[in-house]
């Protein structure tokens, strides 16, 4: 376990270990403001030994950013004051924290507050390939969203967040631009891979222009989409390298490589997972994630989006991959809901005391 609990540094960020809390939507911030329950939820994971907490998806200040009730925003005085309490509590326990900045795009349905009757905003009015259900973004819409991400990042740094993560995965807005199935534009944001990456690159560049030069920017991406688990942005390492290269040039410092099962190879002919290939192709630091410490991935097949139960599983493969320098950091999800002190227990060799994840634990932020 030595490497998992070794210090890590990049830019102005120094972590006591390589254990991260993965972002997990909880929808328990009334009126989109983190409350005392949210403060305690994150404080307990910092107390439990996590080096860096990446928050649940937190919406940027755009009128159509939210797609779910009671998700927090990183915009507006009340929400920022709520997050300041979270940040201070995490820091008091010796942890570090980054917000995951989020816009759901076409996934939004009218009626979700804030936003009222606004439809989903997306590159071609689609949340699913071939089905126009929302608003096709204009150039002004694109510019407004870029500015919203940049402003939320700047506000996050001002209240003490230690890094910024951009949510570019799982079929939400940025991923809808990446994915040919939902991006049918014929302007500079559609068509070629470079064009489909342009929107995300503009967001990265705008954030970098508004935050400190040494504040790390993390970018989360995935091959799979919630709309289609089999979807892929890149069929080959060459395609993946081209996609990632545009984001590297824009200023991404760390890639957060989302897989449903971290142990699965990404391409035939190699044992490297998505994080391993990303590190090899870019030379950047990477985070692996995907059912760490559990024996089952987190989403069932079909329409049910409730996190699946999972029994505690061996960490041997994870540790071997980390020791082989296939990735730099490890994000833990459901196992940290079940075990707020997961990091401390693992470091102390108490794996046999970890409890399984049961989806009934989602009923409360502090049920475990």
User: CA-based angle 31:37:43, to the nearest 5?
Assistant: 125
Residue 131 CA to residue 144 CA, distance in Å, equals: 25
Residue 317 CA to residue 319 CA, distance in Å, equals: 6
Three-state secondary structure call for residue 219 = strand
Using alpha carbons, list the distances in angstroms from residue 329 to 16, 20, 44, 179, 363: 12, 7, 20, 27, 29
- Quick check: 257 and 205 in contact, CB under 8 A? no
Q: Catalytic site residue 121?
A: no
Paired strand residues for 258: 222, 289
300: its two tokens:
């069932």
Catalytic residue (one of 42, 121, 172, 189): 172
Closest to 220 measured CA to CA, from 91, 13, 338, 56: 56
Helix (H), strand (E) counts: the chain: 10, 14
- Quick check: 29 and 16 in contact, CB under 8 A? no
Residues identified as active-site: 172
């Amino acid at each position: 376990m030595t490497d998992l609990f070794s210090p890590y540094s990049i830019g102005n960020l120094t972590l006591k270990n390589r254990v991260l809390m993965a972002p997990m939507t909880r929808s328990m911030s009334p009126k989109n403001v983190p409350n005392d329950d949210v403060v305690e939820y994150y404080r307990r994971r910092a107390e439990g030994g996590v080096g860096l907490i990446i928050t649940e998806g937190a919406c940027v200040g755009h009128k159509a950013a939210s797609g779910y009730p009671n998700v927090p925003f990183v915009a507006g005085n009340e929400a920022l004051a709520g997050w300041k309490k979270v940040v201070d509590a995490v820091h008091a326990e010796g942890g570090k924290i980054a917000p995951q900045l989020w816009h759901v795009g076409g996934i939004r349905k009218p009626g979700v507050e804030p936003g009222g009757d606004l439809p989903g905003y997306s590159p071609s009015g689609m949340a699913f390939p071939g089905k126009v259900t929302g608003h096709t973004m204009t150039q002004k819409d694109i510019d407004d969203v870029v500015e919203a991400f940049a402003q939320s990042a700047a506000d996050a740094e001002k209240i003490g967040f230690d890094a910024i993560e951009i949510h570019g995965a799982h079929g939400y807005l940025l991923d809808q631009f990446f994915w040919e199935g939902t991006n049918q534009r014929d302007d500079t944001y559609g068509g070629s891979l470079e064009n489909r990456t342009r929107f995300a690159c503009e967001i990265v560049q705008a954030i970098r222009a508004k935050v400190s030069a040494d504040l790390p920017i993390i970018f989360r991406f995935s091959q799979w989409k919630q709309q289609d688990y089999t979807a892929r942005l890149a069929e080959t390492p060459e395609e993946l390298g081209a996609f990632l290269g545009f984001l590297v040039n824009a200023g991404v410092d760390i890639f957060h490589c989302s897989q449903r099962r971290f142990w699965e190879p990404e391409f035939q002919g190699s044992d490297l997972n998505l994080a391993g290939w990303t590190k090899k192709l870019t030379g950047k630091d990477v985070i692996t994630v995907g059912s760490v410490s559990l024996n089952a991935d987190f989403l069932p097949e079909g329409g049910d989006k409730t996190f699946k139960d999972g029994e505690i599983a061996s960490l041997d493969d994870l540790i071997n991959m980390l020791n082989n320098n296939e990735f730099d950091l490890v994000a833990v999800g459901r196992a940290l809901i079940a075990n707020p002190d997961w990091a401390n227990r693992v470091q102390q060799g108490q794996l046999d005391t970890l409890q399984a994840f049961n989806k009934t634990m989602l009923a409360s932020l502090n049920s475990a």
